Chain A
């Protein structure tokens, strides 16, 4: 068995066997909540990775698109009785649609201006969540009483919910991984490095940026739907600016442009506060200090982009080096 296959299998075993067994062993709902939270944020960080890490657009409003997904899922579920099976993709599409509308005017903005525009749009969406009481129920939030209902099969046990969340996020992260390590991803990386040069090479920069933004928003929306269905209650404060910053921190601490790094960053920032519960009130300060330390001492992140690319090439490259056709695909 080749080494790359071994790594994939190991990851699958950990996600779908070791962690659930451990959770069952602890036997407390609280640990399930943390596991779900970790998956939701890993998906969010992976989707932000596509925009900020790979395409190099500093995005300061990601949590609001996540919020759009959560509200679409929760409102469809609680007001119109549309269940998880249809609500999940609809949440993704809703977020993607909002992102498309946002992207049309803002995509020609440069670096810091784009960051400011996303910040403004994030705050606007937050105000809508908080103040459009007729639609979003305002600061009281939305209660979602229906559990996860997968193709007519109601899933009520904590273990079942864990498996649904883990499967949905794993598939989404896999898609994002393939996207960021493909020709498409390489084109995005090239426009990150020099967009004028990329445009001169015949790549439509604006369209590429809009696509990356919309795809990322789609997966953020999926994460939002998972969050709404697993907690059963969402409120505007789950999607405010500090959440956007938290997701951005995950991406930066893990390593800009590195998907494995981003996942490690997300796990670290979700699990660390829980591990540090022992320290009580100062745990948030410790998180801040760690973020600062990571930026100061590990400027490329925990698992930098170069490492990540080498890693991905070894994983994907084995299939490609076995390709004997005339054309030859990908890197050797």
Chain B
């Protein structure tokens, strides 16, 4: 009924969408809690990929351990990022400065500065070329299912992302720290008055979000077998688009939008040259902004 090539593109699209979703969750969690965009998220993704690569070249652990190392590196990077780029700008916690534009712009720029520093430092250490990954670790071994061929990476990415999403859902709905994250993102000042340690909550948000971003980085690195310091930029923008399409602070919205983006991008390659496929994401972004200014899944928000 379907063209095998089309089904194959669909499989790639699902993997792509899952990767964007993992990144978009980090963006969304941090935006929800702090109301600012974290521009260094793409660099966290790169740090995850490089941490995994270093682990592989140093002592060749099993794949699961590599993923855990990337996760830990991302969590650590998120922690450092919060301390360096976001904490200094939260000196004042009254309502006016929480909502002030100047403060939001300052955090935006400081995370941007951090991303420049991180990227340049990685370029200095590793060089700007592609790093080759040990072939045994690549997750692109073909699996034939009927007429279509997918790679085991598609299944691994699908499995890990579903696991992470389920874990996140449990964390946010059931665990104390998740509930405090939801409380802070709903109303930071109110949460503070109720005795929630907002500072600690924000740090945990960064750790969780950045860990997921770093995991996406190492998965992509092993899927395509290419790891380089500037690799975080394009997925970062796509995840950002997914966040906006999802309505800025809705996690299910961001995940669904990320899947839409990934699928649209891979399917579009059947109709046009693949160099134009990035255009699809931006077209989606503009269409969303113009026709659904609140995002596809967002509730009405206060004007910010």
Residue ranges of A at the interface with B (Cβ–Cβ < 8 Å): 56, 58, 105-106, 109-113, 116-117, 119-121, 123-124, 127, 130-131, 241, 245, 248-249, 252, 256, 281-282, 284-285, 287-289, 291-292, 295-296, 299
**Which of B52-60, B263-271, B272-280 lies at the binding interface?**
B272-280
Q: Quick one: CB contact mask for B12-23 with A, threshold 8 Å, 1 for yes?
A: 000000000000
10 A–B contacts from the bound complex (CB under 8 Å): A105-B286, A106-B286, A106-B290, A119-B240, A120-B285, A285-B124, A288-B113, A288-B116, A292-B110, A295-B113
Question: With A and B bound together, what is the CA distance between A127 and B273 in angstroms?
Answer: 12
Closest beta carbon of chain A to B50's beta carbon, Å = 16
**Chain A residues closer than 8 Å to B289, beta-carbon distance:** 106, 109, 113, 116-117, 120
CA distance A26 to B131 in the complex (A): 42
B282 at interface, CB cutoff 8 A: yes
Do B304 and A110 touch across chains, with their CB atoms under 8 A apart?
yes
Within 8 A of A (CB), among B106-142: 106, 109-110, 112-114, 116-117, 120-121, 124
Q: What are the 4 closest A-B residue pairs judged by CB atoms, nearest first?
A: A288-B116, A292-B113, A288-B117, A284-B120
Residues 245-278 of chain B: 1 if any A CB is under 8 Å from the residue's CB, otherwise 0? 0001000000000000000000000000101101
Given contacts A56-B101, A288-B120, is CB(A130)–CB(B275) below 8 Å? yes
A296 near B286: Cβ-Cβ < 8 Å: no
Q: A285 touching B106 by the CB < 8 A rule?
A: no
Chain A residues near B244: list those with CB within 8 A.
Answer: 113, 116
- Known A110-B303, A252-B105; judge A117-B285 contact (CB<8 A): yes
Contacts of B279 in A (CB 8 A): 124, 127
CB-based contact B120/A296 at 8 Å? no
Provide the bound-state CA to CA distance between A291 and B37, in Å: 18
**Residue B64 CB within 8 A of the other chain:** no
Instruction: Let me know if A113 and B109 touch, CB within 8 A.
Output: no
The docked-state distance in angstroms from the alpha carbon of A282 to that of B112 is 17
Instruction: Assess the A116–B240 pair: CB atoms within 8 A.
Output: yes
Among the listed A58, A127, A252, A285, which residue makes an inter-chain contact with B276, where contact means beta carbons less than 8 Å apart?
A127
* Interface residues of B, Cβ cutoff 8 Å to A: 37, 85, 88, 101-102, 105-106, 109-110, 112-114, 116-117, 120-121, 124, 233, 237, 240-241, 244, 248, 273, 275-276, 278-279, 282-283, 285-286, 289-290, 293, 303-304
Residues of chain B within 8 A (CB-CB) of A119 are 237, 240
* B110–A116 CB distance below 8 A: no
A120 engages B120 (CB within 8 Å): no
| Contact B109–A285 (Cβ < 8 Å) | no
- In the assembly, what is the distance between CA of A109 and CA of B285, in Å? 13
- How far is A199 from B276 in the complex, measured between Cα atoms in Å? 40
| CB closest chain-B residue, reference A291 | B113
Selected contact of A285 from candidates B117, B283, B285, B293, CB within 8 Å: B117
Note all chain A residues with C-beta closer than 8 A to B114: 288, 292
Chain B residue at minimal CB-CB distance from A124: B282
CB-based contact A282/B109 at 8 Å = no
Supply 12 further A-B pairs (C-beta < 8 A) apart from A105-B290, A281-B124, A292-B113.
A116-B285, A116-B289, A117-B286, A121-B286, A124-B286, A241-B233, A249-B112, A284-B116, A289-B117, A291-B116, A295-B109, A296-B88
The residue of chain B having its C-beta at the shortest distance from the C-beta of A293 within the complex is B113
Residues in B whose Cβ lies below 8 Å from that of A117: 285-286, 289
Inter-chain CA distance A211–B113, complex, in Å, is 31
Report the bound CA distance from A109 to B286 in whole Å.
Answer: 11
Q: Is the CB of A123 within 8 A of B116?
A: no
Considering the complex, give the chain A residue whose CB is closest to the CB of B248. A112
Contact B116 A287 (CB under 8 A): yes
Q: Separation in Å of the B113 CB from the closest CB of chain A?
A: 4
Residue of B nearest to A115 (CB): B37
The answer on a CB contact under 8 Å between A299 and B102 is yes
Residue of A nearest to B284 (CB): A120
CB atoms of B37 and A112 under 8 A apart: yes
Residues of chain B contacted by A56 (CB below 8 angstroms):
101
In Å, the complex CA distance between A288 and B109 comes to 10
Q: Would you call B124 and A282 a contact (CB within 8 A)?
A: yes
By beta carbon, the residue of chain B nearest A116 is B244
Nearest opposing residue in chain A for B124, CB measure: A281
Query: What is the distance, in angstroms, from A82's C-beta to the closest C-beta of chain B?
Result: 29
- Select one of A110, A287, A289, A295 contacting B106, CB under 8 A: A295
A292 and B282 within 8 A (CB) = no
Q: Which residues on the A side are within 8 Å of B285 (C-beta)?
A: 116-117, 120
